[in-house]
Amino acid sequence: MKDLEELRTRMRQFAAERDWEQVHSPKNLVMAMSVEMAELLEHFQWLTEDASQQLDDQTLAAVADEIADVQIYLVRLADRLGIDILEATERKFHKNAQKYPVDS
């Protein structure tokens, strides 16, 4: 995939082809994303800080799958709510820069 817009379009088509629009309400998408976040969390739950930075290939692949699941639901949620993720991110970066200025 080349960009976020392509992912959004593909997810919209994927859901439409399966008639998932009826269940892809914002509430349901947030709940599904929460489940995926929990699945991601499971891979790190009992690791030390060092171990969490040195995942074996199998765990890293599983983590990548869970990150993709979270991203898919996030993009789908933003699409259903009419939120441009990149614009929202830019605004949030600006807010964070004001809230957490670099120490002089």
Confirm whether 67 is domain-assigned.
yes
pLDDT in tens, 21-65: 999 999 999 999 999 999 999 999 999 999 999 999 999 999 999
For residue 32, give its domain range: 4-99
Residue 104 lies in a domain: no
pLDDT value for 103: 85
Residue 31 lies in a domain: yes
Report the CATH number at residue 81.
1.10.287.1080
pLDDT value, residue 104: 55
Q: Is residue 94 part of a domain?
A: yes
Task: Please write the tens of the pLDDT for every residue from 67-96.
Answer: 999 999 999 999 999 999 999 999 999 999
For the chain, helix (H) and strand (E) counts, in that order, are 5, 0
Distance CA 39, CA 62 (A): 10
The pTM score is 0.89
Give residue 2's pLDDT.
83
